[in-house]
């Protein structure tokens, strides 16, 4: 069995900045409400770029950071809930653009936990020796599935992508992983796909639009509990405690969720990395963007311990305990 480590990161957000004041012109909301209830000041919005365009840019940066090219990659996994097309996958589109000709490519969907799930899957491929280098991407253009008439949700989301290159080798980078799902609470967060509709049906169904529907209160309660459980479970049996961890990198959904968890875990809020003020909730991309930002800012030193923790639609959750080896 090989060890697996993160050897490069990248991210990309569209250039268009949408402020809370911009949203006041679309729905009945205001800057004060959005900032105090969510922590979001701005978010980025695609002006036409699709999910694979965002994914490609993050991937190129991550490859550069890892000092690799597409030819070195033998696995590409993209976590997303906003694919360009049902087929081909975003991963296959990225493959063709970076010339990763020997790679196996597929997308996965695990709501906002997508990037954590994808890292965990890639780790299994690399540990067994099946692959040597993997490109894991979280990418979303949520603005295509946002209900722009629903003030409860449209103020929360943004577009963006982040990527990490994983390598199998001698250095233990990903120390531990933990994931879980609870399908019987799937109703709390939903984006409909194409409805069943064919000439052999008794009644032709109306094709409901694919827009985000969320029960914010239930997700809030779920998130505050499951983040703590995910931290506890991923660290168990590693020989480390939360005191050894320099940063927690949580899914960026709401600053109040993170403040609550920081308080409950008796940790200084500064040890929870946050950039939700700039980008809003970018679902599968949020943890990947945050990790890349920390890498670029030089916040991470060799052998620092970091925990990535995600939660989202499904419901799903998960965490990754990392020894930073770059
Ligand atoms: N502007 C102004 N007022 C608003 C807005 C808005 N954008 N949205 C809701 N309100 C109003 C409501 O209508 C309500 O008014 P009322 O009291 O007259 O009925 C009032 O504000 C309070 O609404 P609540 O829903 O109780 O507000 P809450 O404090 O719960 O905040 C929020 C809502 C921000 C959605 C919060 O519940 C939350 O963050 N939940 C978690 C959501 C989340 O984490 N989602 C992502 C996880 S999964 C994923 O990332 C895909």
How far does the centroid of ligand 1 lie from the alpha carbon of residue 152, in Å?
A: 5
Q: Is the pLDDT of residue 289 over 80?
A: yes
Cβ of 290 less than 6 Å from ligand 1: no
176-194+208-323: same fold as 3-172?
Answer: yes
Q: Which residues are catalytic?
A: 112, 251, 281
- pLDDT for 19 equals 98
- pLDDT for 71 equals 98
Which residue lies with its CA nearest to atom 26 of ligand 1? 217
How far does the centroid of ligand 1 lie from the alpha carbon of residue 232, in Å?
A: 28
- pLDDT for 124 equals 96
pLDDT band (50, 70, 90) for residue 188: very high
| CATH match of 3-172 with 3.40.47.10 | yes
Q: Count Cβ atoms below 10 Å from residue 143 Cβ, excluding itself.
A: 20
- pLDDT for 290 equals 98
Q: Which helix (H) or strand (E) holds 162?
A: strand 160-169
Percent of the chain exceeding pLDDT 70 equals: 99
Q: For tokens 């697996």, what's the residue?
A: 4
Chain-centroid distance, C-alpha 53: 16
Which residue lies with its CA nearest to atom 48 of ligand 1? 312
How far does the centroid of ligand 1 lie from the alpha carbon of residue 221, in Å?
A: 12
Q: Count Cβ atoms below 10 Å from residue 47 Cβ, excluding itself.
A: 10
Q: What is the pLDDT of residues 137-157, one digit of tens each?
A: 999 999 999 999 999 999 999
Cβ of 155 less than 6 Å from ligand 1: yes
Which residue lies with its CA nearest to atom 39 of ligand 1? 254
Mean residue pLDDT across the chain: 96
Annotated domain spans of the chain? 3-172, 176-194+208-323
Percent of the chain exceeding pLDDT 90 equals: 92
For residues 14-31, give the mean pLDDT: 98
- Give the integer Cα–Cα distance in Å for 285 and 162: 5
Q: Name 309's bridge partners.
A: 250, 319
Test site for ligand 1: of 23, 148, 181, 216, most ligand atoms within 8 A of the Cβ: 216
Cβ of 217 less than 6 Å from ligand 1: yes
Cβ of 219 less than 6 Å from ligand 1: yes
Q: Is the pLDDT of residue 205 over 80?
A: no
Q: Is the pLDDT of residue 206 over 90?
A: no
Cβ of 312 less than 6 Å from ligand 1: yes
Cβ of 144 less than 6 Å from ligand 1: no
- What residues have CB less than 8 Å from 118, skipping those under 6 apart? 77, 78, 79, 108, 110, 136, 137, 138, 284
Q: Is the pLDDT of residue 228 over 90?
A: yes
Test site for ligand 1: of 21, 37, 116, 182, most ligand atoms within 8 A of the Cβ: 37
- pLDDT for 5 equals 97
Q: What is the pLDDT of residues 264-277, one digit of tens each?
A: 999 999 999 999 99
pTM: 0.96
Q: Is the pLDDT of residue 46 over 90?
A: yes
- pLDDT for 242 equals 96
Q: Which of 108, 86, 16, 109 is nearest to 54 (CA)?
A: 16
Which residue lies with its CA nearest to atom 36 of ligand 1? 216
| CATH match of 176-194+208-323 with 3.90.79.10 | no
Cβ of 80 less than 6 Å from ligand 1: no
Q: Is the pLDDT of residue 203 over 80?
A: no
Residue 175 Cα distances to 172, 203, 295, 310, angstroms: 6, 53, 19, 17
For residue 212, which atom of ligand 1 is closest to its CA?
51
- Give the integer Cα–Cα distance in Å for 254 and 274: 10
Structure tokens at 73: 């990659």
């Amino acid at each position: 069995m090989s060890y697996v480590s993160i050897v490069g990161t990248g991210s990309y957000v569209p250039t268009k900045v949408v402020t809370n004041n911009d949203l006041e012109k679309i729905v009945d909301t205001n800057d004060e409400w959005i900032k105090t209830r969510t922590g979001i000041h701005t978010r980025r919005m695609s002006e036409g770029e699709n999910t694979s365009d965002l994914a490609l840019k993050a991937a190129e940066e991550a490859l550069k950071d890892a000092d690799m090219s597409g030819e070195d990659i033998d696995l590409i996994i993209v976590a997303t809930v906003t694919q360009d097309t049902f087929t081909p996958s975003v991963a296959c589109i990225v493959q063709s653009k970076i010339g990763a000709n020997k790679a196996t490519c597929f997308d996965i969907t695990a709501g906002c936990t997508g990037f954590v799930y994808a890292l965990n899957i890639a780790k299994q491929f690399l540990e067994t020796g099946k692959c040597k280098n993997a490109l894991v991407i979280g990418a979303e253009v949520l603005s295509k599935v946002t209900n722009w008439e629903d003030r409860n949700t449209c103020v929360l989301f943004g577009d963006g992508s982040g990527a990490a290159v994983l390598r199998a080798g001698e250095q233990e980078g990903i120390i531990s992983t933990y994931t879980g799902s609870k399908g019987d609470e799937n109703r709390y967060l939903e984006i409909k796909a194409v409805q069943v509709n064919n000439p052999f049906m008794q009644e032709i169904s109306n094709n409901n639009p694919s827009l985000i529907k969320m029960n914010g209160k239930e997700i809030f309660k779920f998130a505050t509990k499951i983040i703590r459980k995910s931290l506890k479970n991923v660290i168990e049996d590693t020989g480390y405690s939360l005191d050894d961890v320099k940063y927690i990198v949580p899914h960026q959904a709401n600053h109040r969720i993170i403040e609550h968890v920081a308080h409950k875990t008796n940790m200084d809020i500064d040890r929870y990395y946050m950039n939700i003020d700039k980008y809003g909730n970018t679902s599968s991309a949020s943890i990947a963007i945050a990790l890349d930002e920390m890498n670029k800012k030089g916040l991470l030193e060799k052998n620092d311990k970091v925990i990535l923790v995600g939660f989202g639609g499904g419901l799903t959750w998960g965490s990754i305990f990392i020894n930073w080896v770059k």
